[in-house]
Amino acid sequence: MSAAAKPTVRLVRDDLRPPKPPPRRHLISVADLTRDDVERLLGTARNFADSLDRHVKKLPTLKGHLVVNLFYESSTRTSSSFELAAKRLSADTLNIKSVGSSVDKGESLKDTALTLGAYDPNVIVIRHPQIGAPQLVARVTDAHVVNAGDGKHQHPTQALLDLYTLQQEVGSLEGLHVAIVGDVLHSRVARSLLQAFELVGTHTILVGPPALLPRDLPAKATTDIGAIRDADVVYVLRMQNERMQAGANFVPSLREYSARWGITPERLRPGQKVMHPGPMNRGVEIDGRVADSPDSLVTTEVRSGLVVRMAVLYDVLTGGPVGVRALAAAEVA
Amino acid sequence: MSGKVLLDASALSRTLTRIAHEIIEGNPDLDELALVGIQTRGVPLAHRLARLIEERAGDAPALGAVDITFYRDDVTVRGGEAPLAAQPLVRATQLDFPLDGRTVVLVDDVLYTGRTIRAAIEALFDYGRPARVQLAVLVDRGHRELPIRPDYVGKNLPTSRTERIQVQLVEIDEVDRILLVPTSEEGSR
């Protein structure tokens, strides 16, 4: 009896509510993902990887959809792989690169987003030096928004492609030890990675110069480069000169940095895998011999980027709970 | 799970045996034959048919599986709105043999609108150029929306659109049977 009465009540309440558009799914931060989301994304990426072995590499999945790549910062890997990912899924792509240093953070991004929004894009992929830019785009357009890097905040697709790379190379991510070495302070990759590793049960330790190790991150940190010995994987971060404020002495010099924290063959155990999100400063944070060694996963990471970004585009458009919480955050921001 | 049992295990097994015979009859050159199951329930059905064909004709046809998720025509509903439910889990496509020149028999459990078969044919052609494509289904329930017809049918079961045919197989559901389920019930496909 009560089971029959329940839907009637709900019907009345739904009638009283103003009609609400269905929530759009975004990928703005790894913090919005659950472990299930991550596993679904990696599984979808594996399926797309299979499709790349075929004679016809293009899939008709997103035919008729428009993906806009809006890049306010320079990028080779991320922008090219998002473009190719969209094309391999038969979507139309529009690539907009802004190279102005005086881009006013609020209004002009909003106006650009509104302009592009007029083309009814299904997905907007955005990279911007300002934290929160993806949320702004999500608020002013009807598109699904994918964050391709916002300031020092997040770079979720990089974290996902690194998880994918590790899963393909070493199998299980649970219980794996990863040392993240270098400029953690300015690194959005490190922030996204730490959250992603926590989701899948990978242990992380941060290694670097004291001024470049933030204290607010939930991982053990040390200035001793010897700590990488215990790690299965050494994840090398780029020295981000463009994010360092003029006059701030985070490290005495790049030479000093590479002497104390540079990853050289002598500092590695045999079999230890080395990753780097690119672009690499050879001779600074990573020795050229390490970058070119068979234990380096750098080119594998680039290959993973394509299939993971295909999976992300597919996932934001086809459902799954990605970014429902991100949307709520965008509404607050 | 309630629902009316339309075919029990032994009837299902007899039906598959008959389909296997018809495939052998229709394809004298079994070397060129490949059975490709459509995920999910078409895959175990293709395996069973391949075994039956091998028992009767001595030659085992090539076996494959195809997942049509990336080929669906309803990835997002019109206007780019998100679909009401999440897309189904993607399963593996496995076609380890060259398709060129082969006779491919697509195998699925229920033939309904024909949209799944359209997607499967498109997926198949991205892997190669089969000489011909045939279709074997356990149940044809009518309501076609595309000009597609099966070459081998287990059972014609005319239904109303508000009903669902549910095929259960030991490999997945721990029981062999075909059910008629009203739509309002949970667990319909």
Is A51 in Cβ contact with B70 (below 8 Å)? yes
The residue-averaged pLDDT of B44-59 equals: 95
Q: In the sheet that B132-140 helps form, which strands lie side by side, from edge to edge?
A: B62-66, B33-38, B103-111, B132-140, B152-156
Q: Which two three-digit tokens encode residue A322?
A: 């990605």
Residue A105, pLDDT > 60, answer no
Is A120 in Cβ contact with B127 (below 8 Å)? no
State pLDDT tens for residues B2-38: 789 999 999 999 999 999 999 999 999 999 999 999 9
Tell me whether residue B187 is in a domain: no
Tell me whether residue B82 is in a domain: no
Residues 6+ apart with CB under 8 A from B10: none
Comparing A20-34, A95-109, A191-205, A286-300, which segment has the lowest mean pLDDT?
A: A95-109
Residue A174, pLDDT > 90, answer yes
Counting one residue from chain A and one from chain B, the pairs whose CB atoms sit within 8 A come to: 68
C-alpha–C-alpha distance, residues B59 and B28, integer Å: 11
Residue-level pLDDT at A166: 97
DSSP one-letter code for A286: B
C-alpha–C-alpha distance, residues B15 and B138, integer Å: 8
C-alpha–C-alpha distance, residues B83 and A249, integer Å: 52
Tell me whether residue B176 is in a domain: yes
Residue-level pLDDT at A17: 56
Q: CA neighbours within 13 Å on the CB side: how many for A82? A: 28
Residue-level pLDDT at A318: 82
Q: In the sheet that A177-181 helps form, which strands lie side by side, from edge to edge?
A: A220-222, A203-207, A177-181, A233-236, A273-275
Tell me whether residue B140 is in a domain: yes
A106 — pLDDT class (breaks 50, 70, 90): low
Is B82 in Cβ contact with A25 (below 8 Å)? yes
C-alpha–C-alpha distance, residues A281 and A278, integer Å: 8
Comparing A47-51, A205-209, B97-101, B156-160, which segment has the lowest mean pLDDT?
A: A47-51
Which stretch, A107-111, A238-242, A284-288, has highest mean pLDDT?
Answer: A284-288
Q: Using an 8 Å CB-CB cutoff, list chain B residues near A23.
A: 82
Residue-level pLDDT at A99: 64
Residue-level pLDDT at B80: 43
Alpha-carbon gap: B43 to the closest alpha carbon of chain A (Å): 17
Is the pLDDT higher at A155 or at B69? A155
Strand partners, B37: B65, B107
Q: What is the mean pLDDT of chain B?
A: 88
Select the residue from A318, A324, A327 to test the B interface by mutation, using most B Cβ atoms within 10 A: A318
Tell me whether residue B104 is in a domain: yes
Residue A239, pLDDT > 60, answer yes
Q: Which two three-digit tokens encode residue B82?
A: 């998100």
Q: What is the mean pLDDT of chain A?
A: 86
Residue-level pLDDT at A13: 52
State pLDDT tens for residues B168-184: 999 999 999 999 998 76
CATH number of the domain that B108 lies in? 3.40.50.2020
Alpha-carbon gap: B9 to the closest alpha carbon of chain A (Å): 34
CA-based end-to-end distance of chain B: 13
How many folded domains does chain B comprise? 1
ipTM here = 0.71
Residue A8, pLDDT > 90, answer no
| Number of residues that make up chain B | 189
Interface of B with A (CB under 8 A): 67, 69-72, 75-76, 80-83, 85-87, 89-93, 122, 125-128
| Domain ranges, ordered by start, for chain A | 23-155+305-314+323-332, 157-302
The residue-averaged pLDDT of A12-18 equals: 53
Percent residues over pLDDT 70 in chain A:
84
Residue B68, pLDDT > 80, answer yes
Write down the H helix ranges in B58-147.
115-125
The residue-averaged pLDDT of B137-153 equals: 96
Q: Do domains A23-155+305-314+323-332 and A157-302 have the same CATH topology?
A: yes
pTM of this structure: 0.82
Is B75 in Cβ contact with A61 (below 8 Å)? yes
Q: Which two three-digit tokens encode residue A246?
A: 């003029």
Residue A1, pLDDT > 50, answer no
| Minimum CA–CA partner of B73 in chain A | A61
Residue A331, pLDDT > 80, answer no
Tell me whether residue B116 is in a domain: yes
Q: Using an 8 Å CB-CB cutoff, list chain B residues near A51.
A: 70, 93, 126
| Domain that residue B52 falls in | 4-70+93-182
Comparing A104-108, A212-216, A306-310, which segment has the lowest mean pLDDT?
A: A104-108
Q: Which CATH architecture has domain A23-155+305-314+323-332?
A: 3-Layer(aba) Sandwich (3.40)
Residue-level pLDDT at A216: 87
C-alpha–C-alpha distance, residues A2 and A227, integer Å: 62
Alpha-carbon gap: A137 to the closest alpha carbon of chain B (Å): 17
Is B93 in Cβ contact with A318 (below 8 Å)? no
Residue A329, pLDDT > 50, answer no
Residue B146, pLDDT > 50, answer yes
The residue-averaged pLDDT of A305-318 equals: 93
Tell me whether residue B77 is in a domain: no
Tell me whether residue B83 is in a domain: no
Amino acid in position B36: V
The residue-averaged pLDDT of A310-315 equals: 94
CATH class name, domain A157-302? alpha beta
Please count the other Cβ atoms lying within 10 Å of the Cβ belonging to residue B21. 15
